[in-house]
Homo-oligomer: A and B are copies of this chain.
């Protein structure tokens, strides 16, 4: 049986050569292609089945992020592993979003690199320690659902708050819940008072800031 089919993408020919040497030393891996830029990489992916693409992020003629996005689009089974000199926060995030399965820096030890290639080929991910820290910081920023943000509201008020937060007008709320508009106004007033909010506008902000409505809880 053949090993994991790998393509190297980097504009430095010397680095490609040394990567080829390092990876070929691992019997699980077979380096089948190497190219100098993202555009060529996409072409190769279009024509050949590959398991892993090892890609530099900065390159002439289509950078690594754009190439990654294109590759995962046309060949979802092919994993992309970014390999760069720095762990620039923005590039990490951009690469991950583009669909990269891992992100290593070039100071990685050969054995760890080969292991990472095998890891991503088997569907998991690989992150260099420094990069992992960046990613974890990002995760920590993800909102926490603070239920305390609705403290003191009655069940009915919570319900109406939900509609309020999605941009419903009093009229719409009264139609949806089959209530008189006066009733809705009473509830809204109670909500604003209890949460110490000025407006329904501030109610919406309150909801988003406290993670009470997620993004993609789209109003319509």
Residue ranges of A at the interface with B (Cβ–Cβ < 8 Å) = 93, 96-97, 99, 101-102, 116, 119-120, 123-127, 129-130, 132-133, 135-136, 138-144, 166-167, 169, 198-202, 204-205, 208-209, 211, 215-216, 218-219
Q: Are B201 and A93 in contact (CB under 8 A)?
A: no
Q: Are A126 and B129 in contact (CB under 8 A)?
A: yes
Q: Are B219 and A215 in contact (CB under 8 A)?
A: no
Q: Enumerate the 3 nearest inter-chain pairs by beta-carbon distance, A residue then B residue, closest first.
A: A125-B132, A124-B129, A125-B133
Q: A166 and B125: CB pair below 8 A?
A: no
User: Are the C-beta atoms of B199 and A167 separated by less than 8 Å?
Assistant: yes
Contact B142 A133 (CB under 8 A): no
Could you tell me the distance in whole angstroms from the C-beta of A115 to the nearest C-beta in chain B?
9
Are B124 and A133 interface neighbours, CB within 8 A? yes
Can you name 11 extra interface pairs (CB under 8 A) apart from A96-B139, A127-B135, A135-B135? A102-B132, A119-B129, A138-B139, A138-B142, A143-B215, A169-B199, A201-B204, A202-B219, A204-B205, A204-B208, A208-B215
